[in-house]
């Protein structure tokens, strides 16, 4: 799929870059002279994005994984939903429109089509980045409002279940969570919670569903009168889930930097909370299981914000805009400012997905031709 039609202004093919194609022999020079720092500036057609911009290497991996997931759904095309997923994933991020930010000295994604299929590895990755960006943008505001608050990382599990029972297990866990978070003893001021499903190593291949919760607690939580021991957390989850056994629960203190094995650094806790609901490794090893899980988790939510975090964090699934910006996603005001800045950096490079060798390669380059973007240098007078 080409994005060329939607590009504003006239397009100049990359191969004309070095020729003087302007009328009247008038030389045009970009106002921003520091083009040498831009690794795309001298790029040739067919060059790989991951060679030109190493930080964009994950694109090849995730798009390659998308081919695997798409193939899996296509192989089960009798199922109408799977056939639709296969078609949508097939079209996902076929062209990446990249730009260059002179302020950040970075190559940045400017536009791409995302399929939004929950199981698409490209979309999962971009959504995960967008969630991280939401949290990291909100963090200074949260910390300003609650300067003495502390952080905990909690993992709540129940016994493994058969994949056919996954949907009902997750529904019970959602109910259990509601009761848990309404307990008087529940200490969090706010939290962000994600659901993850992994395949257990046992021969039966049971599913292991669990919640990861990054929570902010008042400073007083660590006072001996308020502190909850591991056994207390187990008891609270057991009661909320109405279980007849002690569930596996893990609770860790989160600090800006971890000092002990039992602690987690804030950055790692955020990454752990916002990773994908389903691992692509599980697909490669157990495709039938992966397919069954996607059915069981259909239309369930991956990430939930609760408590005071709702005030600070945008809820709902990240949209295409946020997914495009990825880790650069910012709040709307900053975004507006960034867009204005971006309009001054209008050159674009289109990288197309190449099925062989599963990499993004430069296809076309577009230069802005709006007059105000350039300084017009009059031609030299003849001698």
The distance of closest approach from Cβ of residue 355 to Zn ion in the complex, given in angstroms and rounded to an integer, is 16
Taking CB under 5 A as the criterion, the residue among 115, 133, 302, 362 binding Zn ion is 115
Binding string, residues 171-190; x marks residues near Zn ion by CB under 5 A: --------------------
Dihedral pair phi/psi, residue 4, rounded to 5°: -55, -35
Q: How many CA atoms lie within 13 A of 21 on its CB side?
A: 11
Strand locations in the chain, DSSP E? 27-30, 95-101, 106-111, 150-157, 190-199, 207-217, 249-255, 263-265, 303-307, 348-354, 359-366, 374-377
φ and ψ at residue 299, rounded to 5 degrees: 65, 20
Q: Which member of 123, 149, 158, 251 binds Zn ion (CB under 5 A)?
A: 123
Q: Which is nearer to Zn ion, 158 or 283 (CB)?
A: 283
Beta-bridge partner residues of 215: 152, 191
| Smallest separation (angstroms) from Zn ion to the CB of 86 | 12
Does the footprint of Zn ion cover residue 120 (CB under 5 A)?
yes
Q: How far is the CB of 324 from Zn ion (least distance, A)?
A: 12
Q: Residue 280 interacts with Zn ion (CB under 5 A)? A: no
State how far Cα 53 lies from the chain centre.
19
Q: How far is the CB of 360 from Zn ion (least distance, A)?
A: 15
Among 380, 367, 379, 373, CA closest to 16: 367
Tell the smallest beta-carbon distance from residue 54 to Zn ion (Å). 23
**Does residue 122 interact with Zn ion by CB under 5 A?**
yes
Positions in 87-106 near Zn ion (CB under 5 A): 92
| Region near Zn ion per CB under 5 A, out of 109-117, 132-140, 158-166, 309-317 | 109-117
Is the CB of residue 206 less than 8 Å from the CB of residue 160?
yes
Per rule CB under 5 A, is residue 347 in the interface with Zn ion? no
Q: Find tokens 């591991």 and name the residue.
A: 230
Which residues of this chain interact with Zn ion, rule CB under 5 A?
A: 92, 115, 120, 122-123
């Amino acid at each position: 799929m080409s994005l060329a039609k939607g590009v504003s202004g006239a397009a100049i093919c990359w191969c004309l870059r070095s020729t003087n194609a302007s009328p009247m022999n008038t030389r045009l020079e970009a106002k921003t002279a520091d083009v040498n720092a831009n690794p795309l500036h001298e790029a040739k057609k067919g060059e790989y994005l991951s060679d030109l911009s190493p930080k964009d290497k994950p694109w090849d991996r995730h798009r390659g994984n998308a081919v695997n997931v798409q193939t899996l759904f296509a192989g089960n095309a009798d199922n109408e939903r799977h056939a639709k997923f296969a078609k949508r994933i097939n079209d996902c991020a076929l062209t990446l429109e990249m730009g260059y930010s002179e302020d950040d000295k970075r190559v940045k994604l400017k536009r791409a089509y995302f399929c939004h299929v929950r199981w698409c590895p490209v979309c999962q990755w971009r959504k995960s980045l967008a969630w991280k960006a939401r949290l990291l943008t909100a963090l200074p505001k949260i910390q300003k409002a609650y300067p003495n608050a502390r952080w905990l990382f909690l993992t709540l599990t129940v016994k493994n279940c058969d994949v056919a029972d996954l949907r009902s297990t997750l529904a019970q866990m959602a109910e259990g969570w509601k009761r848990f978070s309404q307990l008087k003893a529940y200490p969090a001021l706010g939290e962000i919670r994600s659901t993850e499903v992994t395949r257990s190593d046992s021969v039966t291949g049971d599913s292991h569903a669990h919640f990861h919760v990054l929570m902010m607690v008042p400073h007083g939580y660590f006072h001996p009168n308020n502190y909850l021991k591991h056994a207390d957390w187990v008891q609270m989850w057991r009661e909320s889930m109405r279980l007849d056994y002690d569930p596996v629960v893990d609770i860790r203190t989160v600090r800006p930097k971890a000092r002990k094995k039992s602690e987690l650094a804030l950055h790692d806790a955020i990454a752990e909370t916002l990773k994908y609901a389903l691992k692509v490794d599980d697909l490669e090893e157990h495709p039938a299981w992966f397919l069954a899980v996607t059915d069981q988790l259909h239309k369930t939510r991956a990430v939930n914000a609760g408590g005071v975090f709702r005030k600070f964090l945008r809820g709902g699934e990240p949209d295409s805009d946020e997914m495009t910006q990825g880790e650069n996603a910012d709040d709307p005001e900053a975004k507006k400012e960034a867009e204005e800045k971006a309009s001054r950096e209008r050159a674009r490079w289109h990288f197309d997905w190449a099925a062989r060798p599963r990499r993004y390669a430069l296809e076309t380059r577009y230069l802005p031709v709006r007059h105000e973007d350039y300084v017009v240098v009059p031609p030299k007078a003849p001698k």
